[in-house]
Structure 1
Amino acid sequence: MQRWDRIEAFIEVVRLGTFAAAARHLKVSNSHVSRLVSQLENQLGTTLLYRTTRQIRLTDAGALYYEHCHHLFDGFREAEAAINDLEARPSGVLKLTSSTTFGERFIAPLVNDFLTLHPQLHVRMHFTNRQVDIIDEGYDIAIRMGTLKDSTLIARRLCERHEYLVGSPEYFTRVPQPHTLSELASHSCLIGSRDHWRFDVDGVRREVRVEGAWEANSGPALLDAALKGLGLAQLPDYYVDSYLASGELISVLEPYQHDDTAVWAVYPRHRHRSPKVRQFIDYLVAHIEEQLPVRRSHSR
């Protein structure tokens, strides 16, 4: 254990620039810090620091040793901070963003439940179908759908999300159900926030551009149009599961269904998460399935 005291003394001398500053930080005498560094040099059989009356300077060996060792103590400090945060109450302002419908229906109730447990917390929710830059715009957490793009953000999976291509029985009395992707060209396609639909062809993701006379950037409006027989729509399970169960909608092209479309909580990469972020994401993971409708069994 003596070696750790010696290494810590050496690291603090280098980090703070003087033996006196290191001694004040460690709450020991200057002579004790000097003795610890000398003992470390004797132990290693090399000089780590050049000492003059005005300054200290690292030797090549000292620079190499510092580079390898200071991360250890950074890790110790981070571990202590993480333990201290473990039982800490979330506080401050929690800023989060989510897509509109999913956020309003499933995320907002969980935020409200979380606030009843932690009334000292303040929250700012922003619902938009625009993909927000959470770092530049100052958000703690974003709820993202589907396949995530490469990013420096950290992501935690909240739940599965499957997309279905659906139409009403009334619509299929006028137009036969499609069995291949090429048949989509002969159908009325209801276009939501994107004009391409995602499918899986032999394990490879494929995007098919679709056209139609109906378009809106609203999931509920898209669902209503599909229920009223205006055409085919591609919608996630939390919109359509109950209607598939009741027979008001029919799922088609299921062998081509694209599966890799989970719901994620993403947040900026920090050395450790604040209590408000860590505890809220843990709460989401534990309770999100309670908010979702009973899901249709999914099989390919």
Structure 2
Amino acid sequence: MEPFAGMEAFVRVVETGSFTAAAERLQMAKSSVSETVRALEERLGVRLLDRTTRSVRPTEAGLKFYARCRRLIEDAEAARAEAQTLSEALSGRLRIGAPDAFASRFIVPSLAGFLKSHPALAIDLVATAAQSKLVDEGLDLAIRIVAAPHDNLVVRRIGKSRIIIVAAPAYLAAAGDLNTPQELVNHSCIGFSPLPWRETWSIGGETISVEPVLLTNETESLRAAALAGLGLAAVPEWLVGDALAAGALTQVLADYETPESGVFAVYPTNRLLTPSVRSFVDCLARDLKSRGLGAG
């Protein structure tokens, strides 16, 4: 198994572009990864990586060797997954990336029943407003809420998400109602910096330029700012459904069309879809459908 271990370390270095990131993926010390790859080069009698103080990249021979090694590792992972399917018990650790507020409202509630059904399985949940980098962060899957995911990912659409514009009743009482998208420029707006909804808002087939009184990169802060009456906010409907029902927020310009995105489960193309990933995505898709966010 020593040559294969060296191959896996080499493949992870090429994929992540650094020994440090590869060591995190493999849960090894950086020095161990470096020594393992160097030992592999010595056994082969070929230099596989060009190393500098700032970067590491494969040589021409390394690129060809990488393609072969990756196929071997994928075959080994496929064999492991096939063996796992012979047993109903899922085990190991599943690492999931997801948007922060979506994770707290949908993924965490789904985990209760999922983990009860699979007690030998553990979850690492990486919740962030920014899109998680699957390979760099060692994720088994990520949940993305976008119009269309990147072509280099394996994708399953499991839900939908529509943007609406909301404000606190107290803000509207002071600032006045608005009847057309063009009137947005006369109101205080709250922008969400990770997405296009910061200085430009799309509604009714038009793109309106606004000057946000507040820009935030965190989803819960966007919701809190709207509830506090700071102005209008363009938010996913699922983020504020409870506040709308309670009357703490009011939807405006409801007669105008706003963009709808998909909720996607995405996986790295170089990683096999394991039974644990498939089972969790099936569970989450059922939960989203039961809560009115199904893919349709």
Report the TM-score, using the length of structure 1 for normalisation: 0.62
RMSD of equivalent CA atoms? 3.0
Match of 2:192 in 1: 192
Helix, strand or coil for the counterpart of 1:256? coil
Match of 1:140 in 2: 140
Match of 1:69 in 2: none
* Deviation (angstroms), 1:263: 1.7
* Deviation (angstroms), 1:200: 4.6
Helix, strand or coil for the counterpart of 2:255? helix
Helix, strand or coil for the counterpart of 2:217? coil
For structure 1, the residue ranges without an aligned partner over 5 or more in a row are 1-77, 296-300
Match of 2:93 in 1: 93
* Deviation (angstroms), 1:83: 9.7
* Deviation (angstroms), 1:249: 2.0
Give yes or no for contact 2:152–2:269 (8 Å, CA) kept in 1: yes
Q: Does 1:174 align with 2:174?
A: yes
Match of 2:111 in 1: 111
* Deviation (angstroms), 1:222: 2.4
For structure 2, the residue ranges without an aligned partner over 5 or more in a row are 1-77
Q: Which has the larger radius of gyration?
A: 1
In the alignment, the residues of structure 1 paired with residue 133 and residue 219 of structure 2 have an alpha-carbon distance, to the nearest angstrom, of 22
Deviations 1:8-50 (A, max 9, x none): xxxxxxxxxxxxxxxxxxxxxxxxxxxxxxxxxxxxxxxxxxx
Residue identity in the other structure for 2:202? F
Match of 1:257 in 2: 257
Match of 1:287 in 2: 287
How many aligned residue pairs are there?
A: 214
Match of 2:64 in 1: none
Relative to structure 1, is the Cα distance of residues 122 and 271 closer, same or farther in structure 2, using a 3 angstrom cutoff? closer
Relative to structure 1, is the Cα distance of residues 247 and 84 closer, same or farther in structure 2, using a 3 angstrom cutoff? closer
Give yes or no for contact 1:144–1:263 (8 Å, CA) kept in 2: yes
Give yes or no for contact 2:167–2:231 (8 Å, CA) kept in 1: yes
Report the TM-score, using the length of structure 2 for normalisation: 0.62
Relative to structure 1, is the Cα distance of residues 136 and 222 closer, same or farther in structure 2, using a 3 angstrom cutoff? closer
Residue identity in the other structure for 1:264? F
Helix, strand or coil for the counterpart of 1:159? strand
Match of 2:216 in 1: 216
Match of 2:161 in 1: 161
* Deviation (angstroms), 1:170: 1.9
Deviations 1:203-256 (A, max 9, x none): xxx554421222322333322322232210111112222332333322122233
Relative to structure 1, is the Cα distance of residues 192 and 242 closer, same or farther in structure 2, using a 3 angstrom cutoff? same
* Deviation (angstroms), 1:280: 1.3
